Amino acid sequence: MSSKQRLEGKVAIVTGGANGIGAEAARLFVENGALVVIADVNDELGLQVASSIGVDKVSYHHCDVRDEKQVEETVAFAIKKYGSLDIMFSNAGIAGSLCNILDYDLNDFDNTIAVNVRGAAACIKHAARVMVERKTRGSIICTASIASLVGGSGAGHGYTASKHGLVGLVRSACGELGAYGIRVNSISPYVMATPLACEALGMEASEVESAGVAGANLQGIVLKPIHVAQTALFLASDESAYISGHNLVVDGGLLAVNSPVSKK
């Protein structure tokens, strides 16, 4: 089997697939043999991405992950359209507000948790249900963040809390679903110039990268959405068959060299 067919015969759902990491993952999954359902709330952009990849191998379905019914309907759509579900890439997320905890709006906190944690829980639940029913040895992947490992002054408190919680959710689901042959993992990338990050920071992509906000790793390579998509491809493929319950950090070593231990 060639490297271009690592997902041959598999069906994937990618939430938050209309841009950034999700759009790159949808393209990469299709290039590697998968049939893909892009799920998002941005219908216009989602349809554009689907069309640019090729409508014979990718479809678009509206899905707000805060609404469990919409998640369930998206899973049902994938089954009806392609006859199976092997991969759930729960990638939809929002940044929430960046401000001091003294001024933090807890309604914003609730909404961030609803998308980033509750939404992921709905994706895991409904993907796993059909995988168990059909005896599919599936892979469920969630996009977390470097914020799942650290805090920060002025950080998005809801975002940081949500990504810590998401990793806990992944680890718990891994333990329950392993008996059915289902793997559950998360990916924690460093900051990069995605639409989500640019909107949260109020900066253009070029500004995010030139200002040094986006992480350049120890080899001087600036992190891009494609690097995270490639990580998702690995976790979706059989090459990671013995990996589950893992939070795979994609930061080029930045956390390691900036940790308290490394400075001693």
Residue 247 Rama label (left phi>0; alpha psi -120 to 50; beta) = beta
| Edge-to-edge strands, sheet with 183-189 | 58-62, 35-40, 11-15, 87-90, 139-143, 183-189, 247-250
For residue 129, give both structure tokens. Answer: 């249900």
Measured CA distances, 164 to 71, 132, 136, 247, 264 (Å):
22, 27, 28, 11, 26
CA distance 157 to 200: 13
H or E element at residue 62: strand 58-62
**Which contacts qualify for 246-249: CB closer than 8 Å, 24 or more apart?**
246/185, 246/186, 247/144, 247/148, 247/149, 247/167, 247/170, 247/171, 247/185, 247/186, 247/187, 247/188, 248/185, 248/186, 248/187, 248/188, 249/146, 249/149, 249/188, 249/189
Active-site positions read 159
| CA atoms 227, 233, 234, 235: torsion sign | positive
Count Cα neighbours of 240 within 13 Å in the Cβ-side half-sphere: 26
